[in-house]
Structure formats: structure tokens, C-alpha cells
């Protein structure tokens, strides 16, 4: 058995549209080590988001195996996958998707409502997560009182508040300006290096991709390049 | 923070829409409280009337056609052993009104000797009965009428009749009746009316109706058949009815009101369900990606179903309370008894009406939320998220 944290073997994913078979991933194999920061790149429709969804247990493969830690995701039903996600995965989306009627702290607290814990413990976790993303002083602000970058920081705090081992980010800087993007990517680097989170990020942006330790290029459902970044490049991106 | 808090905050997302939908619940629920309270009141009155075992005998074609006074003896003779019959009380419409006012009181002249027996539910004390029997001008009056004119036992008053020969008579109150079904009725002695008519040159000791107090429900049915059979094919052919059937004749004269109200209620409930369902569906569509994120971070589909359904139900509950509470306060504070509309004068907001109205609103809220909740339940997270990209 592989020692990789994430292991995909011969994964095939097909969608059907009006009985028409649309293959998205074709016989894909992938290993991701614990603590890695993998960037998925490729043109639109290449299967990046589908791969991310399969690793995050949001979708199941048409055939093949997806193992994350001890969990064989392809064997789980929807209920089991949902419960697994709540404990093991933090999601970051391009459009943040915060609840507009809740404050930053309440948005971060949302995933904790699924766990049995005292309100004091929840509060402490929320404060810690907001401290990590540097927004402790904005905890009572609503999303419409925050900038795009601050909203994405809140979304990151929401992703890490349950202390998941894996963080999946789908175009996390796609809606941000260059300076704010750098701040968010720096934050992801901190989560990866200091908090030892395994991160898989989808992006179109080569500058954003430079922040990862490993870059995977997908095209037409197949992996056609796998580059390991130099230590210097990663260090430069982190600084 | 709790899920309930999240639900409450969600209702503030579009305050105008939430307020309008809540209003769509509140207005019909306010009307329902009044309507159901009225139905409860009428049911109580009917139950009370049924318990009294009274049989009304009047001229078959019309209540306004008078029957001869001697009919009382003939009715009593149909049950000489008093096996079923307790007492017979003849009554005649007086139609009096307080001088210089427009409203005609439900005023009736009743046989003095049998009135306290046939109307034992009036609960006249021995002293009140003695005064009724000894004073020819004695009268008993319902509490709503007494309150309206500020009358109390011992007071003297004058009524002008609105029917020929338009007598003006003086009375002395011996009792204020507390019965809901007799809250605006005025009874006085028929011998006083007869003597007054005679004095005015109208010797006409006839009655509009004879009320018979029966001993058992079975006895009431037996007497009903026996009386109508005895006077069949005579100039005084009768129609005998128990008190509920008699009252129903008046209600049905205005059409099938309860049926009409029921049909309207069903239509209104259906419309509210459509309004609320539309609101919840719009709310669901607006939040489709947000709900997908909820699922992504670990909220089970069943929980999402419950959240959407609870939101709809909560909106319905808030709307219902916003209608039921002000309506109840209004009905408590407004002097309905002054309307002098028979038993309606004793109208009270029924706790049952409040419970039923809120239950209807909750049910409609649940039904309206079912489809959006089902859509949220079956929402595929990846599909909803892909719409974002």
C-alpha cells in the first residue's frame, strides 16, 4: 500500500448530457504526499475542478479508486462522504460564499455547528481561526462590510476552523486583484508550512501556481505534466 | 450561535419580501380567529340548547301566523300523565323599542306560570320567581341589552311596540339573564300584554309560538310527532322543531353561510400556500450556491431539508402570530355585545380558535416549504458549485 496521503488509481469520470457520454477524466493516477501543496492547472474543461471534487468527496468516480488517508471515497455513500468531509476537508471557493446575514465570526462558526462542543470552545476556535487569517478585529463585521480579500480570509478561516488535514481551494484568487491575491496565497503557504495542511489548489494564474510545491497540468482529462518546484521558488513565493 | 439563529437571520435577508409573505399569513389568520371563535360560540349555544330539551310549536306556514291560546291546553292534553311533557309556555312577539331609539328589541310576552319552568336555564332564584309571578309588569332582560341601556334589577322602563296596535308599556326588571344565547332577549308576562291589548280594544290572546319543555330527548321526538299529527289538516296546522332546528331556520334564511365560509377558507388557505411556496422557492433559488457550500462543509442533505422547511414554517408562524395576537386583542377590546346580534353579543375569542389558526398557518408553512426543501435535499453540490465557475 502506498504511503501517500492521497492516492488515485485509474480514475475515470464520465458525465452524461442528454444520453451523450462526456468523459472528463480518463484513467488518472495520482499520489499526493502529506503536507504537499499541489497546484492543478489546465485549460477550461480539462477536469481540474472535477479532480478536486473527487478528492474532496463531493463527487464519486465512474470507475477507479480514490483514497484519502484511511478513507476509500469511492466506496462511501453520500451520507458517509458528507460526514467525512466535515471532519477532514476545508473548502475555499472563488466567490467565498459567505452567508451575508451572518458576521465574520458566525460564518466561521458554521461548520462547528455540526460538532458537539461547548459554545465557549466554539468561540475559542473561531477566534483562533480568525487570528490565523489576521481578521480578529473584523469578527463582528458582515460580509458586505468587508473587502473581497477580507471575505476570502473569512472563507479560509471557515475552512480551517475544524482543523482539517486537507484544504481544497478552487480558484481562491480568481476574483481578487494582484496584491490581495498575493496576500491570500501567502496565507495558504503559511497554512501549508506552519500548520502542515495538505493543500490542493486549482488555478489558471501562473503567478498563483508559483506558490505551490508541485504543479500538475491537466488537459482533456489526462495528466500530462507533473513539475516539482524548486525549494528556492517556493521560498520566494512564501516570502 | 444555533441553527435557529441562522434561520432567523435568513428571514432578514430580504425584509420586504419576508414582511409581505408574513402579512399574507397574518391577515387570513386574523379573520380565522374571529370566524372559528364564532363557530365555537354557535356550537356551544347549540349544545346548550340541545341540553334544554325544548320543542317549539308554531304555525306550519309562518311564524308570523298566530295560533289560538287554547292550543296550550290541547298540547298538554296530548300527554295527560306528563310522561314526556314538563310544561308549555305560549309566547307572543311584542317588538318593543326604547322610546326615541331605532333598534327593536327581541321582546316577547311569555306565559307567567310556566316561563320559569320552561326556561329554567335562566336560573331565576325563588325570590326572583316570586316577583315575576306577583308583579304584572315584571320582565327579565339579557345582559347585553341591560348593559347597553344601563339597566339593572329593580329598574323601571318603558317600551313602545313596533307592531299594531303600537302599545307603550311600562316594565320592572326582576332579573338580568346571564345566558349567552339570551343575551339580548327581553321577556315579560303575556297576561300583561293581553290585558293591555284588551284595554286598547284589541282582544286577541293568541301566540306566535308555544315552547314545550320535555323530560327526555326521546320524549321530545315523541311529542314532536304527536303534536304535528294532532293538528294536521286543521286550520292551525303546526310545525314542531327543537330549539336548534328552529334557530337554524333563521341562519339558513341568509343562505348556507357556514358552507360559504368553509369554501372561502379553503380558497384563502390555498392562495397563502401558493404565495408562501413562491417566496420559499425564490429564496431557495437565490441561495442555491450557499446551500451547496453548506453541503460541502458537512451539512447532511436531511439537515438542509429541515433547514429550508423550518424557515418556511417559521415565516408562517411569525405571520400567524402577527395576525392572531392583534386580532385577539381587537376582539377583546371592541364592545361586540353592543351589537346586540343574539348569541354573538357574548362573543369571546376562543383559545381553540387561536390554536387552530396557528396550526393552519404552520401546516400551510410546512406544505409551502416542502417542494423547495425537497429541491434543496436533492441538490447536487458539484452541479451547484459549477454554476459559480
Long-range residue pairs from B121-124, CB within 8 A, at least 24 positions apart, any chain = B121/B48, B121/B52, B121/B179, B122/B175, B122/B177, B122/B179, B122/B182, B123/B178, B124/B174, B124/B175
Same domain, B369 and B262: yes
**How many structural domains comprise chain B?**
2
pLDDT tens digits for B325-341? 988 888 888 766 555 55
Asked if the Cβ–Cβ distance from A95 to B297 is below 8 Å, we say: no
Same domain, B155 and B265: no
Q: Does B293 touch chain A (CB under 8 A)?
A: yes
Name the pairing type of β-strands A214-219 and A37-41. parallel
Same domain, B303 and B367: yes
Which of chain B's residues have a Cβ under 8 Å away from the Cβ of A87?
Answer: 298
Same domain, B222 and B266: no
Same domain, B276 and B167: no
Nearest CA in chain B to A59: B382
Q: Is residue B54 part of a domain?
A: no
Same domain, B38 and B125: no
* Pick from A97, A101, A158: CB nearest B9: A101
pLDDT tens digits for B14-56? 888 888 888 888 888 888 888 888 777 777 777 766 677 899 9
In chain A, the domains with their CATH numbers are 34-59+89-238 (3.40.50.300)
Same domain, B84 and B40: no
pLDDT at position B249: 63
Q: Is residue B51 part of a domain?
A: no
Q: Is residue B52 part of a domain?
A: no
Is residue A35 a contact partner of residue A208, using CB atoms and an 8 Å limit? no
- Spatial neighbors of B159 by CB under 8 A, at least 6 apart, are B94, B96, B97, B98, B99, B105, B107, B168, B169, B171, B186
Asked if the Cβ–Cβ distance from B13 to A86 is below 8 Å, we say: no
Q: Is residue B55 part of a domain?
A: no
Same domain, B100 and B188: yes
> Is this prediction's ipTM beyond 0.95?
no
Same domain, B280 and B204: no
Which of chain A's residues have a Cβ under 8 Å away from the Cβ of B13?
Answer: 100-101
Asked if the Cβ–Cβ distance from A87 to B298 is below 8 Å, we say: yes
Q: Is residue B243 part of a domain?
A: no
Single residue among B206, B236, B266 that ends a domain in this structure: B236
CA dist B354 → B268, B317, B360 (Å)? 17, 12, 10
Asked if the Cβ–Cβ distance from A85 to B299 is below 8 Å, we say: no
Single residue among B236, B271, B305 that ends a domain in this structure: B236
Q: Does B6 touch chain A (CB under 8 A)?
A: yes
Alpha helical stretches, state H, chain A: 48-55, 78-88, 104-109, 119-132, 148-160, 178-193, 206-209, 231-238
Can you give the residue range of the structural domain that contains B218?
Answer: 62-236
Q: Is residue B330 part of a domain?
A: yes
User: How large is the average pLDDT for residues B90-106?
Assistant: 91
Q: Is residue B245 part of a domain?
A: no
Q: Is residue B104 part of a domain?
A: yes
Query: How many whole angstroms separate alpha carbon B264 and alpha carbon B270?
Result: 10
Same domain, B161 and B301: no
pLDDT at position B283: 81
Q: Does A60 touch chain B (CB under 8 A)?
A: no
CA dist B281 → A34, B318, B370, B380 (Å)? 43, 18, 10, 17
pLDDT tens digits for B226-278? 999 999 988 889 999 888 777 666 555 555 666 777 777 788 888 888 888 88
Alpha helical stretches, state H, B53-125: 71-77, 115-118
Amino acid at each position: 500500500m502506498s504511503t501517500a496521503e492521497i492516492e488515485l488509481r485509474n480514475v475515470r469520470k464520465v458525465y452524461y448530457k442528454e444520453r451523450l457520454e462526456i468523459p472528463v477524466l480518463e484513467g488518472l493516477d495520482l499520489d499526493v504526499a502529506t503536507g504537499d501543496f499541489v497546484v492543478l492547472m489546465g485549460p477550461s474543461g480539462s477536469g481540474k475542478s472535477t479532480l478536486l471534487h473527487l478528492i474532496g468527496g463531493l463527487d464519486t468516480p465512474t470507475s477507479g479508486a480514490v483514497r484519502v488517508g484511511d478513507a476509500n471515497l469511492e466506496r462511501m455513500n453520500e451520507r458517509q462522504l458528507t460526514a467525512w468531509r466535515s471532519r477532514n476537508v476545508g473548502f475555499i471557493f472563488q466567490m467565498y460564499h459567505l452567508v451575508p446575514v451572518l458576521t465574520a465570526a458566525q460564518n466561521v462558526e458554521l461548520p462547528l455547528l455540526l460538532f458537539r462542543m461547548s459554545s465557549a470552545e466554539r468561540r475559542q476556535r473561531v477566534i483562533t481561526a480568525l487570528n490565523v487569517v489576521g481578521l480578529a478585529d473584523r469578527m463582528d463585521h458582515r460580509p458586505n462590510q468587508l473587502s473581497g480579500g477580507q471575505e476570502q480570509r473569512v472563507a479560509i478561516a471557515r475552512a480551517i476552523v475544524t482543523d482539517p488535514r486537507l484544504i481544497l481551494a478552487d480558484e481562491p484568487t480568481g476574483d481578487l486583484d494582484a496584491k490581495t491575491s498575493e496576500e491570500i496565497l501567502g496565507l495558504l503557504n503559511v497554512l501549508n508550512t506552519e500548520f502542515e495542511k495538505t493543500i490542493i489548489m486549482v488555478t489558471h494564474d501562473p503567478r498563483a501556481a508559483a506558490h505551490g510545491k508541485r504543479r500538475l497540468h491537466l488537459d482533456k482529462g489526462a495528466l500530462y505534466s507533473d513539475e516539482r518546484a524548486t525549494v528556492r521558488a517556493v521560498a520566494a513565493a512564501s516570502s | 450561535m444555533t441553527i435557529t439563529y441562522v434561520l432567523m437571520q435568513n428571514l432578514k435577508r430580504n425584509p420586504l419580501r419576508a414582511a409581505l409573505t408574513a402579512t399574507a399569513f397574518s391577515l387570513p389568520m386574523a379573520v380565522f380567529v374571529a370566524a372559528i371563535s364564532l363557530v365555537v360560540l354557535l356550537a356551544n349555544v347549540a349544545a346548550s340548547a340541545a341540553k334544554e330539551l325544548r320543542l317549539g310549536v308554531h304555525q306550519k306556514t309562518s311564524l308570523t301566523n298566530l295560533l289560538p291560546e287554547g292550543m296550550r291546553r290541547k298540547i298538554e292534553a296530548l300527554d295527560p300523565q306528563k310522561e314526556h311533557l314538563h310544561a308549555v309556555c305560549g309566547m307572543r312577539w311584542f317588538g318593543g323599542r326604547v322610546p326615541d331609539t331605532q333598534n327593536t328589541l327581541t321582546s316577547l310576552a311569555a306565559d307567567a306560570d310556566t316561563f320559569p319552568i320552561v326556561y329554567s336555564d335562566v336560573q331565576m332564584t325563588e325570590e326572583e320567581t316570586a316577583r315575576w309571578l306577583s308583579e304584572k309588569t315584571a320582565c327579565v332582560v339579557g345582559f347585553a341589552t341591560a348593559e347597553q341601556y344601563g339597566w339593572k334589577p329593580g329598574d323601571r322602563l318603558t317600551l313602545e311596540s313596533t307592531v299594531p296596535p303600537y302599545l307603550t308599556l311600562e316594565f320592572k326588571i326582576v332579573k338580568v339573564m346571564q345566558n349567552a344565547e339570551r343575551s339580548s332577549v327581553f321577556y315579560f308576562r303575556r297576561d300583561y300584554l293581553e290585558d293591555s291589548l284588551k284595554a286598547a280594544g284589541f282582544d286577541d290572546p293568541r301566540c306566535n309560538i308555544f315552547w314545550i319543555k320535555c323530560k327526555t330527548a326521546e320524549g321530545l321526538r315523541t311529542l314532536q310527532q304527536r303534536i304535528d299529527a294532532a293538528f294536521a289538516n286543521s286550520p292551525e296546522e303546526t310545525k314542531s322543531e327543537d330549539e336548534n332546528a328552529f334557530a337554524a331556520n333563521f341562519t339558513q334564511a341568509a343562505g348556507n353561510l357556514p358552507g360559504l365560509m368553509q369554501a372561502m377558507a379553503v380558497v384563502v388557505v390555498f392562495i397563502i400556500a401558493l404565495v408562501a411556496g413562491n417566496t420559499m422557492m425564490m429564496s431557495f433559488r437565490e441561495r442555491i450556491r450557499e446551500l451547496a457550500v453548506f453541503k460541502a462543509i458537512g451539512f447532511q442533505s436531511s439537515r438542509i431539508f429541515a433547514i429550508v422547511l423550518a424557515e418556511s414554517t417559521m415565516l408562517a408562524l411569525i405571520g400567524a402570530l402577527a395576525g392572531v395576537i392583534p386580532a385577539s386583542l381587537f376582539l377583546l377590546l371592541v364592545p361586540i355585545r353592543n351589537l346586540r346580534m343574539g348569541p354573538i353579543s357574548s362573543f369571546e375569542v376562543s383559545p381553540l380558535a387561536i390554536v387552530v389558526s396557528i396550526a393552519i398557518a404552520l401546516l400551510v408553512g410546512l406544505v409551502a416549504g416542502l417542494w423547495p426543501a425537497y429541491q434543496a435535499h436533492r441538490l447536487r453540490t458539484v452541479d451547484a458549485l459549477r454554476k459559480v465557475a
